[in-house]
A and B are shown apart, each in its own frame.
Chain A
Amino acid sequence: DAGVTQSPTHLIKTRGQQVTLRCSPISGHKSVSWYQQVLGQGPQFIFQYYEKEERGRGNFPDRFSARQFPNYSSELNVNALLLGDSALYLCASSRTAGQGYGYTFGSGTRLTVV
């Protein structure tokens, strides 16, 4: 059984560019969440999607957007990249969006903005 898969694993972008990160949840999991982990800090919540609807949004600017597809995979888009967007972006999946279920994390996408 495949775990949560994220692509690409590493990415280097230039300031001002746009980036799309992808996530495939565990089979049977309908909820996907995105987190940003800056070096030396804990992960910070960006978005949660459940059944293709946004269920939560963290304190991130409108440059960050996401969507979930009918097969429950998800994309995170970041526009007008800043140096401060350099981080590990983690995707987590869960069976539902409710309490009582743990999240399974992917290995992440390491984004470097130069």
Chain B
Amino acid sequence: AQRVTQPEKLLSVFKGAPVELKCNYSYSGSPELFWYVQYSRQRLQLLLRHISRESIKGFTADLNKGETSFHLKKPFAQEEDSAMYYCALRAAGNMLTFGGGTRLMVKP
């Protein structure tokens, strides 16, 4: 069975500081990893997926199969980055398994 763990419920940083949201997963096969973001009063939206290796809104994430991690990083946090972030894994069954989420608060 697959599992996604986001160890931090809340991450608080100052504007301009680097951000790293941690995500660890357990799955024996080749997973597909995603980051979803939910801004206040908005729907859950796709931020990144590892297969596209893109940078969205300055965020990047690298899949580390050895450490089974998919941490989300941004070098300089902005106040508008404040939101709930969910890491998700899609295995062969096509369902998404989500972590518990991390609330990012960027203080001015």
Number of chain B residues close to chain A: CB under 8 A: 23
User: Is A16's CB within 8 Å of the partner chain B?
Assistant: no
Contact B32 A99 (CB under 8 A): yes
Q: Is the interface of A mostly helix, strand, loop or mixed?
A: loop
A103 and B32 alpha carbons, distance in the complex (Å):
12
If A90-B44, A99-B90 touch, does A45 touch B96 (CB 8 Å cutoff)? yes
User: Is B108's CB within 8 Å of the partner chain A?
Assistant: no
The 10 listed contacts between A and B (C-beta, < 8 Å) are A35-B98, A42-B6, A43-B98, A56-B93, A56-B94, A58-B95, A99-B94, A100-B51, A105-B44, A107-B43
Contact A33 B32 (CB under 8 A): no
A 59-108 contacts with B by CB, 8 A: 90, 92, 97-100, 102-108
Number of chain A residues close to chain B: CB under 8 A: 26
B interface list, Cβ under 8 A from A: 4, 6, 32, 34, 36, 43-46, 49, 51, 86, 88, 90, 93-101
What residue of chain A has the Cβ atom nearest to residue B41's Cβ?
A: A107
Contact B49 A44 (CB under 8 A): no
What is the CB-to-nearest-CB distance from A74 to chain B, in angstroms, rounded to a whole number? 15
Binary flags per residue of A18-56, CB closer than 8 Å to B gives 1, else 0: 000000000000000101000011111100100000011
Contact B44 A44 (CB under 8 A): no
